[in-house]
Amino acid sequence: MASQTQDRPVPFLLVRPAREHLASYLAALDQGWSPDSGRGAEAIRTEREAIARDAALFLARMVDREAAGGPVVLADGSTVRRLPGYRYWMWDGEFCGHISFRWQPGTTDLPPTCLGHIGYSVVPWKRRRGYATEALRQLLPLARQEGLPFVELTTDVDNVASQRVIEANGGVLFERFTKPACYGGSPGLRYRIALA
């Protein structure tokens, strides 16, 4: 996809996180973007500490097909078992967001603490350029390779922008649900995108 920025085409792609992208990722963290909106500043601190401790390991764990990265910390501070998955970075010459995919081998089911197979976030200063829509479009063929017949994505009831991203990629509203207490117990929307 070429996105238009002031009449100048900018190439957009998903990249596997690598050392050459790390400075731009750190700059986004410095500007207050968090890779986990539920944990906000705590997630920023955790990412920075992991990078400072071992940047190569941090980058390698962005693709964690064996779920070797240890437990996942939820918004309420509780922890759950990590699922196999990977995270790619959105890139247009600099870091502009991330998209992640996680699954349980052999089933389409996810634990109740995992709201969907795919999650994404675009940095605030790069929004409204179609990046989330394009990132999801580019990720779906990779998800298909895991043999799933569909993926599920969730969004807040009032997050119209995210609903449009999902619908633009073939998402169909599957159900209205109440998020688990660890996510605040608020209402949500669950979409499915067929992969078969």
Reported as a single tens digit per residue, the pLDDT across 6-24 is 444 558 899 999 999 999 9
Instruction: For residues 79 and 59, give the distance between their C-alpha atoms in angstroms, rounded to a whole number.
Output: 21
Instruction: For residues 88 and 96, give the distance between their C-alpha atoms in angstroms, rounded to a whole number.
Output: 11
pLDDT of res. 69: 84
pLDDT of res. 9: 54
Whether 41 contacts 35, CB under 8 Å? no
* pLDDT per residue as tens digits for the range 60-97: 999 999 998 888 888 788 889 999 999 999 999 999 99
Q: Which of 51-55, 67-71, 137-141 has the least mean pLDDT?
A: 67-71
Q: How confident is the model at residue 181 (pLDDT cuts 50, 70, 90)?
A: confident
N- to C-terminal Cα separation, the chain: 23
Say yes or no to pLDDT of 123 above 80: yes
What amino acid occupies position 48?
R
Q: Does domain 2-148 have CATH number 2.40.128?
A: no
pLDDT of res. 185: 87
pLDDT of res. 10: 59
Instruction: For residues 148 and 143, give the distance between their C-alpha atoms in angstroms, rounded to a whole number.
Output: 7
Whether 188 contacts 156, CB under 8 Å? yes
Q: How confident is the model at residue 103 (pLDDT cuts 50, 70, 90)?
A: very high
Rounded mean pLDDT of 100-125? Answer: 94
SS3 at position 105: coil
Say yes or no to pLDDT of 3 above 60: no
pLDDT of res. 76: 80
pLDDT of res. 2: 40
pLDDT of res. 7: 46
How is 27-72 classified by DSSP, letter by letter? HHHHTT--S-TTTHHHHHHHHHHHHHH-HHHHHHTTEETT--S-PE
